[in-house]
Amino acid sequence: MRRPIRFTTVAVLAVALAAAGCTKNTGDKDEGDQQEASTQTAVLAENSDGPAPGVPGAKKGGTVTVYTSGDFEHLDPQQAYVIPALTAGTNLMWRTLTQFRENGDGKLEVVGDLATNTGEESNGGKTWKFTLKDGLKFEDGTPITSKDVAYGVARSFSPDLTEGPKWFQQWLAGSAEYNKVYKGPYDGGAKVPPGVEVPDDKTIIFNFKTPHADVPFAATMPTTSPVPAAKDTKAQYENHPVSSGPYKIQTYNRSQKMTLVRNENWDPNTDPIRHNFPDSYVFEFTRTAEQASEALLADAGEAQSGLSFQDEQVPASVYPKVIANPDAKKRILTGPTQFVWMIDINLQRVKDINVRKALNYALDREGMLKVWGSFSGLPATTILSPTTSGYEDFNLYDGGKNGNVEKAKELLGGKRVPLTYAYRNTERNQAIAAFLRSSLKNAGFDLTIQPVDEDQYYTVLGRRDNPFDLYLQGWGSDWPGGSTTIPPLFDGRAITPTGNQNITYMNDDTANQKMDEILALTDQTQADKQWAALDKDIMTRVVPIVPAIYDKQTTMYGSKIGGIYLSAPYGNSGLNNLYVK
């Protein structure tokens, strides 16, 4: 996931995730203090029945306002893979075959969401069967069937819809080139993908080329969200995805505002995860992080039942005022997440490994953190997050806290290197771009910085022919472990003209082969060790990124918001339990 985790057993799973229990600043920590990530236990739940567990103090009514400075990159469930859309969609509008159940208490389960359970495996793990619950309906009252789920998976194969997760497509096809033969349901294609069976309206069966014990976790991804074929508007579907969850779109003005209201055809008795306490949710896409934080600090009007979302973290300019205010300090949602912020190097353009090593030596991580917000992370030196099972701490290019300019110059051989750096056009990222341009100059780099619209950022970078040398991205695992970090980021066999997750465009035969070997292992402990070893090998031989920051979420909410918690799978504010006090 952007701001994407892998299990190989289907019992109790020890995983490394952000500590979901650490959801608030209680007044004991000041700027720069850090909370340590902890190891959680995730289980496949035995009971997937609704309704969702009660929320103490919750009541119906009111409007929750969500502040974010840019629109969702994609709200089409089969295209969504960036955290704000995943959180809002999964918590409020889309249902999937399975989903994570959490309440901010540190416990994490996978439950059947649309399905009656977390799936039934056979054929040595190659075949997985899901049975849908009774009483499932779309927002227009039409029953949700297994054919709608199959159609949702089918459309994810389309070359026109390239931005979402690719686990099911690749597993069904047995290849990274998943749409080489089957290209989805458009232009006369079948509405059910090869390898999928829908023997009746309640049953969907997946027949994979190889065993996949982590299917219950992959099924939490919105690839398995149902889509009614009659309502599919292809690339325009994200303007009004048909709701299967507790809220539906009332109005959606792109880049301005989206209002969600209750979906009267959602049955809470079928849903083990979600509630519909607020009358409505309003997403405002026009406030900067500073404007949102100032409004939440003042805690008046609509901001009392508002919250900042994902990248709208408390900026460094506002944070001192927040921690100096006892009331506001209690309304910080904070905790470590599984995300790593990294500067990707476009290997198609930056071909000299010494240039890439020099960038690693030259980066002033402490200075960058001060601009980013020193309370919002720790310096990073690895691909994998410290929350990842088997994580190994190393620093191959130790430039100290502020970078080693002389070592970088030595690697560059006295040459000056012009590079183009693309950044998401937000206040925080503007400041980071300016800092990098200034701080890397002494090491021999001449950066041209170029903004990209926030709601187009990863779409633009995912084009193989994008014109940039460097860009910042945050990546976190889809489910715990190295397999949903290293393969999507660095398997060169999956590179396509558009929709790439591998935006360094690395294609290294040795690393590709090692990924296949690790994915074939049945011993998870051994696999964890080998992912960590591959992390080090990639950073030694290829150097496709400059690790920058291990992420910590630090956002604010108003005094009338109840039921908020830091979501462990998404590293974002959970919305499914919110109510207005």
Q: pLDDT for 386-413, tens place per residue?
A: 988 889 999 999 999 999 999 999 999 9
- Determine the residue type at 293: S
Are 522 and 10 in contact by the 8 Å Cβ rule? The answer is: no
Instruction: Compute the average pLDDT of residues 177-205.
Output: 95
Are 420 and 469 in contact by the 8 Å Cβ rule? The answer is: yes
Cα angle 476, 478, 480 (rounded to 5 degrees) comes to: 85
Instruction: For residue 107, count other CB atoms closer than 10 A to its CB.
Output: 15
Looking at residue 143, what DSSP letter applies? B
| Diameter over CA atoms, the chain | 69
* Domain at 45-282+557-580: CATH code: 3.40.190.10
Per-residue pLDDT reduced to its tens digit, 119-138: 999 999 999 999 999 999 99
Nearest Cα neighbor of 571 from 376, 294, 422, 280 is 376
Per-residue pLDDT reduced to its tens digit, 130-175: 999 999 999 999 999 999 999 999 999 999 998 889 999 999 999 8
| CATH superfamily membership of 335-552 | Dipeptide-binding Protein; Domain 3 (3.10.105.10)
In this predicted structure, what is the pLDDT of residue 32? 39
Specify the domain boundaries for CATH 3.40.190.10 within the chain: 45-282+557-580
Instruction: For residue 105, count other CB atoms closer than 10 A to its CB.
Output: 11
Instruction: Compute the average pLDDT of residues 187-206.
Output: 97
- 104 — pLDDT class (breaks 50, 70, 90): low
Instruction: Check pLDDT > 60 for residue 485.
Output: yes
Specify the domain boundaries for CATH 3.10.105.10 within the chain: 335-552
Instruction: Return the exposure string of 512-541: e unless at least 16 CB atoms fall within 10 Å of the residue's CB, then b.
Output: bebbeebbebeebeebbbbbbebbeebbee
- Determine the residue type at 386: P
